């Protein structure tokens, strides 16, 4: 708590042993006027949500499930930047545990050695004036073991514990570290805009110049990544030399 004092992120913390979803809780708090930086954290979620309406397995005693309420003075169209911001902050944090092996996978997964260790779900509320508030939900696999994952995920997911030699990690330390990294990245984002974030994101993604395939609404697009747009879209040059942008949503990006 002391480490979070005087800061924006985590000045108010709501802790639950179990909740439906920390994103839903943070969304309600936003609705009732909670201050920017309010966070919700839970030991388990009964209805943890992932992207594309997928459930997010959220057993107790193991992982980090947290949501951060933000009120950024930005246009709704560039709100995906906050997902990228959270991904970079998580990568900053996890790099202190696994130096050099953290990678961001567009649009919002954090991976270690190609396996997912964290997912991010950003939801926002807008009105006639633009963004009212944004909830950035972050789920990090911390102490869960490989065998605890459903069989279908076992080869796709990993945990920080499995990647750091099997010792139990403190979820409290991780949560505080996460809020500190989000604080730092967010302050810089408000002061300097998207530029520094784009640069860090591209560094962690190590994707520029890579040939990739994207499946978007059942259509396959192949090309080479040339950058990341302000909207958060991935910029490609396709095999005919044309530029194409890939918006998040239901795109799956695959290295060729």
Of residues 178 and 236, the one with the C-beta less far from ligand BTN: 178
Choosing from 121, 157, 197, 248, the residue that interacts with ligand BTN (CB under 6 A) is: 121
DSSP per-residue letters across 181-244: HHHHHHHHHHHH-SHHHHHHHHHHHT-TT-EEEEEETTEEEEEEEEEE-TTSPEEEEETTS-EE
Minimum CB distance to ligand BTN, residue 58 (Å):
6
Binding residue for ligand BTN (CB under 6 A) from 120, 160, 174, 248? 120
3-state SS record for 141-185:
CCCCCHHHCCHHHCCCECCHHHHCCCCCCCHHHHHHHHHHHHHHH
In the complex with ligand BTN, which residue's Cβ is closer, 49 or 185?
49
- Choosing from 10, 87, 119, 177, the residue that interacts with ligand BTN (CB under 6 A) is 119
**Taking each helix axis from N to C terminus, what angle separates 195-205 and 171-192, rounded to the nearest 10 degrees?**
130
Residue 116 to residue 133: CA distance in whole angstroms: 28
Residue 194 binds ligand BTN, judged by CB under 6 A: no
Determine if 212 is a binding residue for ligand BTN (CB under 6 A): no
Beta bridge partners of 213: 222, 254
Shortest distance (Å) from residue 104 CB to ligand BTN: 12
Q: How far apart are alpha carbons 147 and 157 in whole angstroms?
A: 11
Task: Kindly state the smallest distance separating residue 99's Cβ from ligand BTN, in Å.
Answer: 24
Q: How many other C-beta atoms lie within 10 A of the C-beta of residue 198?
A: 18
Residue 149 lies near ligand BTN (rule: CB under 6 A) = no
Nearer to ligand BTN, 70 or 223 (CB): 70
Interface region with ligand BTN, contact rule CB under 6 A, candidates 10-18, 96-104, 132-140, 209-217: 132-140
Site string for ligand BTN, 57-86 (x = CB under 6 A): --------xxx-------------------
Which positions from 32 to 51 touch ligand BTN by CB under 6 A, shown as an x/- string? -------------x--xxxx
Q: Does 10 bind ligand BTN (CB under 6 A)?
A: no
Look at the block and give the residue holding tokens 């990341």: 228
Under DSSP, the state recorded for 49 is B
Which residues of this protein are in contact with ligand BTN, per CB under 6 A?
A: 21-23, 45, 48-51, 54, 56, 65-67, 109, 119-121, 137-139
């Amino acid at each position: 708590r002391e480490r979070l004092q005087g800061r924006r992120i985590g000045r108010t913390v709501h802790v639950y042993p179990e909740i439906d979803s920390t994103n839903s809780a943070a969304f309600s708090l936003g609705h009732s006027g909670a201050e920017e930086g309010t966070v919700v954290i839970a030991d388990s979620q009964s209805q943890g949500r992932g992207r594309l309406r997928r459930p997010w397995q959220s057993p107790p005693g193991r992982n980090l499930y947290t949501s951060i309420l933000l009120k950024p003075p930005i246009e709704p169209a560039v709100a995906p930047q906050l997902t990228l911001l959270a991904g970079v902050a998580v990568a900053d944090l996890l790099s202190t545990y696994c130096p050099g092996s953290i990678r961001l996978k567009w649009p919002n997964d954090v991976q270690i050695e190609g396996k997912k260790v964290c997912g991010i779900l950003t939801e926002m509320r807008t009105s006639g004036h633009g963004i009212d508030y944004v909830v950035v939900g972050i789920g990090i696999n911390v102490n869960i073991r490989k065998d605890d994952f459903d069989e279908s995920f076992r080869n796709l997911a990993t945990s920080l514990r499995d990647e750091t030699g099997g010792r139990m990690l403190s979820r409290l330390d991780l949560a505080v570290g996460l809020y500190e990294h989000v604080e730092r990245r967010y302050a810089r984002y408000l002061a300097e805009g998207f530029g520094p974030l784009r640069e860090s994101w591209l560094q962690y993604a190590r994707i520029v110049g890579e040939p990739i395939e994207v499946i978007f609404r059942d259509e396959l697009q192949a090309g080479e990544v040339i950058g990341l747009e302000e909207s958060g879209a991935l910029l490609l040059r396709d095999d005919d030399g044309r530029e194409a942008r890939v918006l998040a949503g239901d795109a799956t990006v695959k290295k060729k």
